[in-house]
Amino acid sequence: MSENMTEELRALAREVLGDHATSQQQAPGVERDLDPGLWHTLAELGLTRLTGREEHGGSGAGWPEAAVLLWEAAAHGVPVPLLEHDLLAGWLRDTAGLAHGEGAPTTGEPATEVPATEVPATGEPATGVLATGVLVSGGGPVTVPWLGPASTVVVLDARGAGPTAYEMPVGDLAITPARTIAGEPAGRAVLPAAAEVAGAVTVDAAVVREWEHRGALARAVQLAGAMDKVSWLCVGHAAGRTQFGRPLGRFQAVQQLVTEVACEAALCRAVVERAVQAVATDGFHDPHARFLVAAAKAATGHSVTRVVRHAHQVHGAIGTALEHPLQQYTRSLLAWRRDHGSTRHWEDRLETTALAETGGDLWDTLTR
Amino acid sequence: MTTTLVPPLVTESEQTRELRLQVRAFLRAEVDAGSFTPWVDTWLTRWDAAFTRKLAERGWVGMTVPVEYGGHGRTFLDRFAVTEELLAVGAPVAAQWVADRQIAPSLLRFGTEHQKRTFLPRIVAGEMCWGIGMSEPESGSDLASVQTRARQVDGGWVLQGRKTWTSGAHEADAFFALARTAPVDPGNRHAGLSQFAVDLHADGVTIEPIVAMNGSRHFNEVLLDDVFVPDDMVLGEIGQGWHQVTSELAFERSGPERFLSTYPLLDAALTAHRETRPGTSSGLGRHIARLTALHQLSISVAGCLQAGDQADTAAALVKVLGTTEEGDIADTVERMLADGELDGVADLGALTALTDAAVLQRPGFTLRGGTNEILRGVIARGLGLR
């Protein structure tokens, strides 16, 4: 997709997500569910399987487009399982060659909680369902994101000697419902071993590695998008709120806080854009692209601490209230920072594995 | 709106990468030959005119100066790559730094044809070193309050005043002095300032050292006692000094020396850690991640300068983030050493000396070229808060 088309996609995403964000902010809740109507709209626009292969009903786009969509959704504070449905579940299904049969998501209609009136009549029944994905690497129950609205789960099982992939209906699992700190739906469940599942497929070990980097890159993009938005919320609040007879932004102490938020957001944007570009050009099999992904997740995670602290300091008490938009970004930032590898995890991995795989020369890696 | 803060993504071209690798190979050979000892903060602390001439012979000084003035007509991105390589290895580049970074661009922008033809070829050849004549004892962050005065006389101006924090003035040939040419207008403090190219060997110039806390001498006070500057050494226009100086600052603030001053230490610590505790993580990953981001942000600012776009806010942003980070690297390595995490490394003494140098240089990182507090003010203006 050309730069022009990426910008067109950005405009489209802003339009759709902007409408939704406005209506959502009128009734903010602790629990933040997927709006089936929004998901339907996104599906109709070909955005829910943006990166899916066209022969499987996807839109055939790549990471630059996925990053635009992830960024805009994060910046608008709209909860949508783009990573889980498209970039993980959909990708693994395509990669492992899992059956695209009955019940497999193509466009991705949520299977549950879809009020009939909100689904525009398209003349034919919804063909797909919302999928989620999970990487299982240890025993016991795991947390699966979006288990509420999702009706099928694509599993990457790394417990055995060689990794396997399979898909199963959510209905076959015993689920303990859960919520992320951002209020998004999730569930705890024990996933069966691949040997017990019909249709499980053995996959290459590199698939697990790619899964981890996909998750990290998408979360880094979302973190950067949300921090960018937070920096502008800070600017808006500092300019609009008057105390001691003048706007907060006139106080140097407040300016220092706001600019620190803006600096961190800008830094994160730079590294995330570079990582997306490298992955788009060279793919996840390229060690340097993986180095940049690790750097992006580590750097964005690190910045969250300062951004959240300063943003709330700028906003004062109101920023902590459910009624204020800041809180949804705060909660998302905290949820995404710990997700798909902590900051520490990626810092360590950057220094050890990622750097070793590029040849070990830090300066050469940094400047490539 | 954010596009005003972060310039568009720029990646290095194949040709620039090739140049980068040439410089890297040259520097490696120089280190192997013992031509210099890698150090931290070398763009301030390591003055080596012979090494600067060596770089100049290879076309790596004054790179962006047009060919007609003896330069090489290269891009800011080429210059960015070369300066990154020089800093990363810790080469002695103080002799060329100011001239290459901001004097040449200022001359190109505001200088007369005579000034360009007089100075630029010598800068490009590595034969003329420059300092900065902005700060004064009573004018630190508040640059517009400078008290140095220039009085018009027959055929030129006579300067009276005192400049300070002039790095390398005792070895340099000239500086641009910012001086008041008209009384302060309380309604417009930035008016009435002008810039002059001052020969530091001229009559009436006295240079006195300011010794740093580790005993080293890089900074100076420059006393200007009735120093005559001919009319043809006025830079730009009389009264436009503030505008000229602030445009100089965009070059001064945006380069890789704002995040790579301690890179040689990071590299040494990482190497030492691998030597003593192979396969484990040292905790330096945090700095590696941020430097990766800073490199990208900074290269994008260079792209901005190349395109002739306004980069003041972005440059301030890089400097705030980068100078903090290069200091944090020094602190992390100091802690690693104190906790014995690098015990067993072959040359612990050398690493300790490098670390000591870095932590003592650190306080200056976030001061020089505009304190981080002043820079955040610049960014706040960019955000529309001021």
Which tens digit of pLDDT belongs to each residue from B232-252?
999 999 999 999 998 878 788
Tell me, yes or no, whether A165 and A220 share the same domain.
Answer: no
β partners of residue B153 = B156
Which long-range contacts does B66-71 make (Cβ < 8 Å, 24+ apart)?
B66/B108, B69/B108, B69/B116, B69/B117, B69/B120, B69/B121, B69/B124, B70/B120, B70/B121, B70/B124, B70/B125, B71/B104, B71/B120, B71/B124
Identify the pLDDT of residue B42: 97
Tell me, yes or no, whether A211 and A357 share the same domain.
Answer: yes
Please check whether residue A106 is in contact with residue A50, taking contact to mean a CB–CB distance below 8 angstroms.
no
Q: Where are the beta strands (DSSP E) in chain A?
A: 131-136, 142-145, 152-157, 164-169, 176-179, 185-189, 201-202, 242-243, 246-247
Which residue range forms the structural domain that includes residue B190? 132-240
Domain assignment present for residue B249? The answer is no
Tell me, yes or no, whether A39 and A146 share the same domain.
Answer: yes
Cβ contacts (< 8 Å) between B281 and chain A: which residues?
347-348, 351-352
Which one of A156, A185, A202 terminates a domain?
Answer: A202
Which one of B128, B163, B190 terminates a domain?
Answer: B128
Distance in Å from the first CA to the final CA of chain A: 24
Which one of B85, B106, B128 terminates a domain?
Answer: B128
Inter-chain CB proximity A258 and B284 less than 8 Å: no
Q: Which two tokens stand for residue A38?
A: 């929004």
Find the CATH number of the domain harbouring B203.
2.40.110.10
Q: Which two tokens stand for residue A114?
A: 């879809």
Inter-chain CB proximity B317 and A262 less than 8 Å: yes
Find the CATH number of the domain harbouring A307.
1.20.140.10
Asked if B312 is an interface residue toward chain A (Cβ–Cβ < 8 A), one would say: no
Which one of B101, B128, B155 terminates a domain?
Answer: B128
Q: In chain B, how many domains are there?
A: 3
Tell me, yes or no, whether B335 and B298 share the same domain.
Answer: yes
Tell me, yes or no, whether A167 and A259 share the same domain.
Answer: no
CA angle B371, B374, B377 (to 5 degrees): 150
Q: In chain A, how many domains are there?
A: 2
Q: Which two tokens stand for residue A136?
A: 């299982």
The alpha carbon dihedral of B189, B190, B191, B192 has a sign of: positive
Tell me, yes or no, whether A348 and A330 share the same domain.
Answer: yes
CB atoms within 10 A of CB B231: 12
- CA atoms of A318 and A328, how far apart (whole Å): 13
Tell me, yes or no, whether B110 and B136 share the same domain.
Answer: no
Q: Which residues of chain B have pLDDT under 50?
A: 1-3
Tell me, yes or no, whether B146 and B210 share the same domain.
Answer: yes
Which residue range forms the structural domain that includes residue A311? 205-366
Tell me, yes or no, whether B106 and B179 share the same domain.
Answer: no
Residue A114 host element (H or E): none
- CA atoms of A234 and A257, how far apart (whole Å): 9
Residues 6+ apart with CB under 8 A from B352: B337
Asked if B187 is an interface residue toward chain A (Cβ–Cβ < 8 A), one would say: no
Cβ contacts (< 8 Å) between B377 and chain A: which residues?
252, 255
Asked if A280 is an interface residue toward chain B (Cβ–Cβ < 8 A), one would say: no
Tell me, yes or no, whether B86 and B200 share the same domain.
Answer: no
Match 């999702």 to its residue by tokens. Answer: A150
* 3-state SS, residue A24: helix
Tell me, yes or no, whether A137 and A165 share the same domain.
Answer: yes
Closest C-alpha to B167, from B100, B219, B102: B219
Q: Which residues of chain A have pLDDT under 70?
A: 1-2, 100-128
- Chains A and B: how many Cβ contacts under 8 Å? 139
Chain A window 239-258: which residues touch B at a Cβ cutoff of 8 Å?
A: 239, 249-250, 252, 255-256, 258
Nearest residue in A to B13, CA atom:
A368
Tell me, yes or no, whether B149 and B88 share the same domain.
Answer: no
Inter-chain CB proximity A250 and B5 less than 8 Å: no
* 3-state SS, residue B209: strand
Asked if B260 is an interface residue toward chain A (Cβ–Cβ < 8 A), one would say: no
Inter-chain CB proximity B11 and A277 less than 8 Å: yes
The alpha carbon of B118 is separated from its chain's Cα centroid by a whole number of angstroms, namely 23
Backbone angles phi, psi at A326, to 5 degrees: -55, -40
Domain assignment present for residue B2? The answer is no
Asked if B20 is an interface residue toward chain A (Cβ–Cβ < 8 A), one would say: yes
The alpha carbon dihedral of A26, A27, A33, A36 has a sign of: negative
- What letter does residue A177 receive in the DSSP assignment? E
Residue-wise pLDDT tens digits, A286-318? 999 999 999 999 999 999 999 999 999 999 999
Shortest alpha-carbon distance between residue A291 and chain B (Å): 9
* 3-state SS, residue A19: helix
Shortest alpha-carbon distance between residue B131 and chain A (Å): 30
Tell me, yes or no, whether B119 and B146 share the same domain.
Answer: no
Identify the pLDDT of residue B334: 98
CB atoms within 10 A of CB A285: 10
Residue-wise pLDDT tens digits, A67-116? 999 999 999 999 999 999 999 999 999 999 997 544 444 454 544 433 33
Inter-chain CB proximity B286 and A348 less than 8 Å: no
Cβ contacts (< 8 Å) between A249 and chain B: which residues?
380, 385-386
Which of A292, A349, A352 comes nearest B292 by C-beta? A292
Asked if A367 is an interface residue toward chain B (Cβ–Cβ < 8 A), one would say: yes
Residue-wise pLDDT tens digits, A235-258? 999 999 999 999 999 999 999 999
Tell me, yes or no, whether A183 and A210 share the same domain.
Answer: no
The alpha carbon of B22 is separated from its chain's Cα centroid by a whole number of angstroms, namely 23
Domain assignment present for residue B337? The answer is yes
Tell me, yes or no, whether B20 and B101 share the same domain.
Answer: yes
Alpha-carbon dihedral A220, A222, A225, A226, rounded to 10 degrees: -110
Asked if B319 is an interface residue toward chain A (Cβ–Cβ < 8 A), one would say: no
Tell me, yes or no, whether A210 and A339 share the same domain.
Answer: yes
Tell me which amino acid residue A98 is.
L
The alpha carbon of B199 is separated from its chain's Cα centroid by a whole number of angstroms, namely 21
Asked if B19 is an interface residue toward chain A (Cβ–Cβ < 8 A), one would say: no
- CA atoms of B325 and B301, how far apart (whole Å): 18
Identify the pLDDT of residue B310: 82
Tell me, yes or no, whether A40 and A117 share the same domain.
Answer: yes
CA angle B111, B159, B206 (to 5 degrees): 105
DSSP letters, A268-306, are: HHHHHHHHHHHHHHH-TTSHHHHHHHHHHHHHHHHHHHH
Q: Where are the beta strands (DSSP E) in B21-154?
A: 130-133, 149-153
Identify the pLDDT of residue B4: 59
Tell me, yes or no, whether B119 and B149 share the same domain.
Answer: no
Find the CATH number of the domain harbouring B53.
1.10.540.10
Q: Which two tokens stand for residue B214?
A: 């580790």
Find the CATH number of the domain harbouring A28.
1.10.540.10
Tell me, yes or no, whether B351 and B275 share the same domain.
Answer: yes
CB atoms within 10 A of CB B3: 7
Tell me, yes or no, whether B47 and B65 share the same domain.
Answer: yes
Residues 6+ apart with CB under 8 A from B222: B131, B133, B162, B163, B164, B166, B169, B175, B200, B205, B206, B207
Tell me, yes or no, whether A194 and A270 share the same domain.
Answer: no
Please tell me the total number of residues recorded for chain B in this structure. 386
Shortest alpha-carbon distance between residue A201 and chain B (Å): 33
* 3-state SS, residue A116: helix
Tell me, yes or no, whether A331 and A306 share the same domain.
Answer: yes
Please check whether residue A133 is in contact with residue A153, taking contact to mean a CB–CB distance below 8 angstroms.
yes
Shortest alpha-carbon distance between residue A365 and chain B (Å): 9
Tell me, yes or no, whether A29 and A170 share the same domain.
Answer: yes
- CA atoms of A91 and A87, how far apart (whole Å): 5
Which one of A202, A228, A244 terminates a domain?
Answer: A202
CA dist list (Å): B295 to A336, A347, B230, B255: 25, 17, 42, 10
Tell me, yes or no, whether B204 and B281 share the same domain.
Answer: no
User: Where does residue B31 rank: exposed (0-12), middle (13-18), buried (19+ CB within 10 A)?
Assistant: middle
Match 């937070």 to its residue by tokens. Answer: A230
